[in-house]
Amino acid sequence: MIPAIFGCSGARLTADERDFFRDADPAGYILFGRNCEDPQQLRALTDELRALHGRERLLISIDQEGGRVARLRPPHWSAYPAGEAFDRLYRLAPASAIEAARAGAHAMALELSAMGITVDYHPPLDLRQAGAHDVIGDRSLGSDPVQVAAIGRAILDGLAAGGVTGCIKHMPGHGRSKVDSHKEMPTVHESAQELEGDIAPFRALNSALIGMTGHLKFPAWDADWPATLSPTIIGNVIRDQIGFDGLLLTDDIDMEALDGSIPERAVRALAAGCDIILNCWAKMDDMQGICAAVPAISAKAAARLERALAPTRLADAISPEQGKLLAKRDALLALEGEAA
């Protein structure tokens, strides 16, 4: 198995993709809007990916947070609010915000599992910071570490209740970024002591089964390498200080914050301590280059992958319970508007 998660180019596999994926045997796949036309088509695509590998528990993943980060959208799928909605409610009624987040994530997972999706890259545990770039912005669950951890835990629990494994991101914290890491490398200049708050939500949820790195430089920890490529940050901060022992993925290595060829980035990230490379854009040359450059998945990473997928389960259809959960979420979120 190749320690990589690959994207697919469209709503159906091409013949070249089918042959390549069968031979390469990647650890999993990531879906985007380009892959999702309607429920029948999407389930057929995920069923085909599973059939290619003969693995019922296959990592088929998506970025489905809500708000502007949602690959599945109406009219075929439900709408979900951005993290900011739970942030606002928490400041008024913490218990209600936690229950709303749990119910919303459970409803989301019922939808995802019926589509054949096993992993959601959600929740972001990045603290919202004044003056930072809005690459995180309203996606954040708040600026208080305790609050973010509490809502984040509810989201992980809700996803798990619906048969989907969540993923905490972007370790060790993306909230202070002054630029968009999709376009350039952010550098966070705060001291290690000042960054204690940023890593606190990740430490609180360090038992999560999957986590994702961020492409940011933190000179307080490593003057040379961004988190994704830094043995120091992955070893000393993510694994030791945060205490995370789950499956560690890179953020998309196509992002322009990183330099070098895609295979070079992949090799460096694995050498730094990441378990699996996330390569999103279905460029055949890049995927082939990664397969030629990287070793097979390590025994430790394979065990983490198996552990992350063990609780997942697929549904034949969206459960009727989803409507009740969405109604519960909306009623709780409405409390904030009523109080205003």
Q: Give the model's pLDDT for residue 256.
A: 86
Q: Give the model's pLDDT for residue 339.
A: 61
* CB burial readout 278-303, b (16+ within 10 A) else e: bbbbbeeebbebbbeebeebeeebbe
Residues 6+ away with beta carbon under 8 Å from 79 = 66, 70, 73
Q: Where would I find the H helices in the chain? A: 15-24, 39-53, 84-92, 94-114, 145-161, 196-204, 231-232, 262-272, 284-293, 299-309, 321-339
Chain mean pLDDT for the chain: 96
Measure the CA–CA gap between 214 and 199, rounded to whole angstroms.
Answer: 12
Structural domains of the chain in order of their starting residue, each with its CATH number: 2-339 (3.20.20.300)
pLDDT digits (tens, 9 = 90+) for 199-242: 999 999 999 999 999 999 999 999 999 999 999 999 999 999 99
Residues 6+ away with beta carbon under 8 Å from 78 = 107, 108, 111, 322, 326
Residue range 118-124: average pLDDT? 98
pLDDT digits (tens, 9 = 90+) for 160-193: 999 999 999 999 999 998 888 888 889 999 999 9
Q: Distance between alpha carbon 260 and the CA centroid of its chain, in Å?
A: 24
Residue 2 tokens, joined: 């190749």
The reply to whether 251 belongs to the active site is: yes
Q: Please, which pLDDT band fits residue 138 given cuts at 50, 70 and 90?
A: very high
pLDDT digits (tens, 9 = 90+) for 9-56: 999 999 999 999 999 999 999 999 999 999 999 999 999 999 999 988
Residue range 294-313: average pLDDT? 98
Q: Give the model's pLDDT for residue 340.
A: 53
Per-residue DSSP letter, 236: I
Residue 121: which of 39, 202, 184, 66 has the closest Cα? 66
Catalytic residue among 23, 38, 134, 182: 182
Q: Give the model's pLDDT for residue 178.
A: 82
Please state whether beta strands 69-70 and 64-66 pair in parallel, antiparallel, or not at all (unpaired): antiparallel
Residues 6+ away with beta carbon under 8 Å from 336 = 85, 88, 89, 92, 93
The reply to whether 182 belongs to the active site is: yes
How many CA atoms lie within 13 Å of 69's alpha carbon, on the beta-carbon side? 19
Residue range 279-300: average pLDDT? 97
Q: Which residue's entry shows tokens 């190749």?
A: 2
Per-residue DSSP letter, 12: S
Residue 60 in this model has a pLDDT that exceeds 80: yes
Q: Please, which pLDDT band fits residue 130 given cuts at 50, 70 and 90?
A: confident
Is the distance from CB of 186 to CB of 141 less than 8 angstroms?
no
pTM of the model: 0.97
Question: Which amino acid, 295?
Answer: P
Q: Give the model's pLDDT for residue 68.
A: 96
- Per DSSP, the residues of 171-204 read ET--TT-SS-TTTS--B----TTTTHHHHHHHHH
Residues 6+ away with beta carbon under 8 Å from 304 = 209, 245, 246, 247, 248, 275
Catalytic residue among 87, 120, 251, 286: 251
Q: What percent of the chain has pLDDT over 90?
A: 93
Q: Give the model's pLDDT for residue 332.
A: 97
